[in-house]
Copies of this chain bind each other. A is one copy, B any other.
Amino acid sequence: MAQVLSDIEIAQQTALEPIVKIAEKVGLTDDDLELYGKYKAKISFDAIKRLSKNEDGKLVLVTAITPTPAGEGKTLTTIGLAQALNYMGHKAVVALREPSLGPVFGIKGGAAGGGYSQVLPMEDINLHFTGDMHAITAANNLLAAAIDNHVHQGNALRIDVRRVIWKRVMDMNDRALRNIVVGMGGKVCGFPREDHFMITVASEIMAALCLASDLMDLKKRMGDITVAYDLDGNLVTARQLGVEGAMAILMKDAIKPNLVQTIEHTPALVHGGPFANIAHGCNSVVATKLALKMGDIAVTEAGFGADLGAEKFMDIKCRFAGIKPNAVVVVATARALKMHGGVDKKNLQEENIEALKKGFANLAKHVENMRTYDVPVVVGINKFATDTDAEIATLRQLCADYGVDAALNNCWAEGGKGGVELGEKVLQLIAQPQTPYKPLYDVNDTIAQKMETIVKKIYGGAGVVFESKAQKQVAELEKFGLDKMPLCVAKTQYSLSDDPSLLGAPKDFTVTVKDVRVCTGAGFIVCQTGDIMTMPGLPKVPAANRMDIDENGVITGLF
């Protein structure tokens, strides 16, 4: 029996093509690229402008059922599908999110796909890549330093140090920085106040980067960011501190999309990666729109389950970018559906048809949700070695009975070849004429109305309750005239409801909004349900502890 290789071993066995060769395939010349080594490049805005004259390709969004610790393989499927489409003679391009360093050293590990469906060089993509995360960290923390410095130097804007909204960030899982006191040490060290670090991907600058059309738009958005309240209760913006120009200088390269390749040399744009929780969780608008110009088909992904990532993809990203997917793939696994049907994680190896049938309700709800947006849907069944034939057959039958296309894919083990069935279904769907963009709600509805629409139509709940603090915040946003923006719901990814223990497709629940705040730079309103952790911690034995590099530069333990 063949030895099963790890992701990094498979990656290291792959002979990469020079990125200039990959670029040629999609109409880019040497002059369009800023190389970062031989296998990574940023694409210039001159090139983006030139390609903008091309006709748009078709857009395929990959989303998933409610995630479980069993793993769904969304990034894997996104890469595998694009490889499959190329294998079948089409010109497909991938547009993905950038991994964050924090999880790489924590529990989750890298986020560059897996098996024979990876983006490469996976070591670099999972580490510093082209420095986008570091640029965001620097711009975020320059703004933070400017706030405390402004207060220290006389506080002309009368910033209320009890109500500073802007937090510092670090691209590391570091729980000790979640809640801190800064400014200790007396007069030369500023005014003491409570503060918090978030992980870099949670920065509003990341969300703004991903929604911006270019550097000037990003500069404007960064200037618009609300950083604090003043002592009279007015909002203070980054522009009032005068640092949006310097922040834009720091972001001048980060705004340019990154080109890499998949294991089968499919062109891949990997750019931007906001939290799918307090932000919208999709790669950059610039990269997605460029992918549409580079290929006949652009395959992209949205974070967490379809209730979070895909809802925000449709209601935030598509609304701002003027795009709409031609097809949506909802990734499901027999294993995860068994968990939604009540099976404990440790018993997932055993066949359990009844649990699978019960758990199917979760998949059905996500399919129904995506159809609300008037987009054609196919279920992508991501094959695991332990799935039984009976389970796969049952899952196919359940999909057929429900009236949704389904395709098995084996892209981890086989790469693009393993995704041909899914590729065929996707090609059928995108051949259909596209209907107009149909968002879930009107941004001019009240915050309460918008929230109720999302809860009832997407989550399947009975209604929504705003806690008293949240009610006051809504009233304040209405007073400031800042309520006419899309909502970005921060909710547990482990349930369609706001209770992580409710698996499957729960009903009759009420969602509680605890906190409402505006992201004036990103352009959305965050409605927070439950507790959101914006700075992860390291586990007992962090992934960092198994990592090493030898004298030949060969990395081990990174996956």
Contacts and interface: CB of A to CB of B under 8 A. Distances in A.
Nearest to A247: B544
Given A180-B195, A219-B549, 18 more contacts: A34-B37, A37-B42, A128-B250, A131-B134, A142-B544, A145-B173, A152-B175, A154-B540, A176-B191, A179-B183, A214-B551, A242-B545, A243-B542, A243-B545, A245-B548, A246-B544, A248-B549, A252-B553
Contacts of A138: 101, 128, 134, 171-172
A188 interface: yes
A131 B124 CA distance: 12
Contacts of A249: 123, 127, 547-549, 555, 558
Contact of A176 (B172, B176, B182, B219): B182
A555 B253 CA distance: 13
Interface in A429-454: none
A153 to B, nearest CB: 5
A226 interface: no
A177 interface: yes
A42 B149 CA distance: 36
Interface in A518-559: 537-540, 542-545, 547-549, 551, 553, 555, 557-558
A417 to B, nearest CB: 32
A195 B34 CA distance: 40
Contact of A246 (B36, B194, B545): B545
14 contacts: A128-B131, A134-B138, A138-B171, A141-B170, A145-B174, A145-B538, A148-B174, A176-B182, A176-B189, A178-B189, A179-B183, A179-B189, A245-B549, A249-B555
Contacts of A127: 249-250, 252
A507 interface: no
Contacts of A245: 544, 547-549, 557
A557 B543 CA distance: 43
A177 B243 CA distance: 19
Contacts of A175: 148-149, 152, 183, 188-190
A322 interface: no
Interface string A106-133: 0000000000000000010001100100
Contacts of A183: 175-176, 179-180
Contacts of A182: 176-177, 180
A398 interface: no
Contacts of A545: 242-243, 246
A35 interface: yes
A245 to B, nearest CB: 3
Contacts of A38: 34-35
A400 interface: no
Given A243-B544, A555-B249, A142 B176 contact: no
Contacts of A215: 549, 551, 553
Contacts of A157: none
Given A34-B38, A128-B135, A182-B177, A540 B153 contact: yes
A89 interface: no
Nearest to A193: B176
A144 interface: yes
